[in-house]
């Protein structure tokens, strides 16, 4: 998985599903631009993304694949009455993130589970991509 950034622009200019700036996803109306932190790591056998969406139930989160993009969104019902805060950084009512999948990813084998408010997405590599590097003898 790679985070798709628009080349030559400042930070935060993302390309969403469809690859065009300003293109709205097919999944419904545009959600507010609240983002949750994500950690992505690559291993020899695949990729693992951890989406920190504390406060969201797994029923509140949706993962969709579109072309070579993975789209992750979450929406929860707002609390009817909020107390007066001096500073309010939480709760987030909704979020959306999208990432371009590497050509190494076996899209049919992507799985996800929820662990203590962290959505863990596992994207295994294709068999060709996960073959170990080998040295070729020069004769």
Distances 118 to 23, 36, 72, 138 between C-alpha atoms, Å: 28, 10, 13, 48
Tell which wins on pLDDT, 24 or 50. 50
* Structural domain contains residue 25: yes
List the CATH number of the domain containing 42: 2.60.40.790
Alpha helices (H) in the chain, listed in sequence order: none
Q: What is the pLDDT of residues 55-113, one digit of tens each?
A: 888 899 999 999 899 999 999 876 666 677 788 776 668 889 999 998 999 999 999 99
Domain count, the chain: 1
* Structural domain contains residue 96: yes
**pLDDT reported for residue 32:** 47
**pLDDT reported for residue 77:** 76
What is the extent of the structural domain holding 108?
Answer: 1-78+91-128
CA pair distance 115, 54, nearest whole angstrom: 10
Q: What is the pLDDT of residues 118-139, one digit of tens each?
A: 999 999 999 887 677 778 899 8
* Structural domain contains residue 6: yes
CA pair distance 58, 121, nearest whole angstrom: 13
* Structural domain contains residue 47: yes
Asked if 13 contacts 21 with a C-beta cutoff of 8 angstroms, the reply is yes
């Amino acid at each position: 998985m790679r985070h798709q950034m628009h080349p030559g622009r400042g930070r935060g200019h993302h390309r969403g599903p469809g690859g065009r700036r300003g293109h709205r996803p097919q999944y419904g109306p545009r959600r507010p631009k609240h983002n949750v932190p994500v950690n992505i790591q690559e291993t020899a056998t695949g990729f693992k993304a951890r989406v920190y969406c504390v406060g969201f139930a797994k029923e509140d989160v949706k993962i969709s694949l579109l072309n070579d993009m993975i789209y992750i969104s979450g929406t929860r019902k707002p609390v009817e009455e909020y107390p007066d805060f001096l500073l309010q950084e939480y709760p987030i009512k909704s979020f959306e993130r999208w990432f371009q999948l590497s050509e190494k990813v076996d899209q049919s084998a992507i799985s996800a589970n929820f662990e203590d408010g962290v959505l863990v997405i596992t994207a295994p590599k294709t068999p060709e991509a996960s073959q170990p590097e080998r040295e070729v003898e020069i004769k």
